Amino acid sequence: MRQAVDLKKAYRLLNHGPTVLVSSSHGGQRNVMAAAWSMPLDFEPPKVCVVIDKSTLTRALVEASGEFALNVPARALAAATVAVGSQSGRDGDKFAELGLATFAAERIAAPLLEGCVGWLECRVIAEPHNQQRYDLFIGEVVAAWADPADFSEGHWHFAPGRGRSIHYVAGGTFFETGDEFSVS
């Protein structure tokens, strides 16, 4: 299930540093890869950064389409996150091979992944020097969504079941998003 997230609050989907899945589409091809290196860049209009290596099919699709989506996977998608991070979309459609269901985005052509807790639809703000030298892409968030069981009215309240968002370390090891706490 999904509910629109106010664009002013969209940064909160990424502020705690979860690993994301980058989905993209161009000219009849679609792809998805994992990215631990992403972050919010601005509040309003919301912007994000993500590192997309030159060797990836995602890179070609993002550069050709000028769009990408950041999908925030729940722990139940951790194995899929590792799989889409190790296979290349050039060897076949990862969605089909891994049985990953998708639904249509609203403002971009890239598919969004079922089973995630949040989604950010982004348009690339072209910065050729960053892209070429650092593999660094900047996107403006043009629509944002969350599963209301996990995030609503600007706040996370992860539902039991599929697990919370996840934070990749290395070698197939993650941390799950842990206890929430507040300081005054």
What's the closest the beta carbon of residue 124 comes to a second copy, in angstroms?
14
Please identify which residue in 138, 148, 159, 162 interacts with a second copy, judged by CB under 8 A: 138
Q: Total residues contacting a second copy (rule CB under 8 A)? A: 49
Of residues 118, 111, 123, 159, the one with CA closest to residue 12: 118
| 3-class DSSP assignment, residue 54 | coil
Q: Is 170 in the site for a second copy (CB under 8 A)?
A: yes
What sign does the CA torsion over 87, 95, 160, 40 have? positive
Two structure tokens written together for 179: 């206890």
Cα–Cα distance measured from residue 118 to residue 137, given in angstroms and rounded to the nearest whole number: 20
| Tokens linked to 49 | 């950064």
Any contact of residue 146 with a second copy (CB under 8 A)?
no
- Rounded to whole angstroms, the Cα distance separating 74 from 165 reads 5
Q: Which is nearer to a second copy, 30 or 158 (CB)?
A: 158
Interface residue with a second copy, options 22, 32, 34, 49 (CB under 8 A): 49
- The residues binding a second copy (CB under 8 A) are 12, 15-19, 36-42, 47, 49, 51, 75, 78-79, 81-82, 127, 129-130, 134, 136, 138, 154-156, 164, 167-184
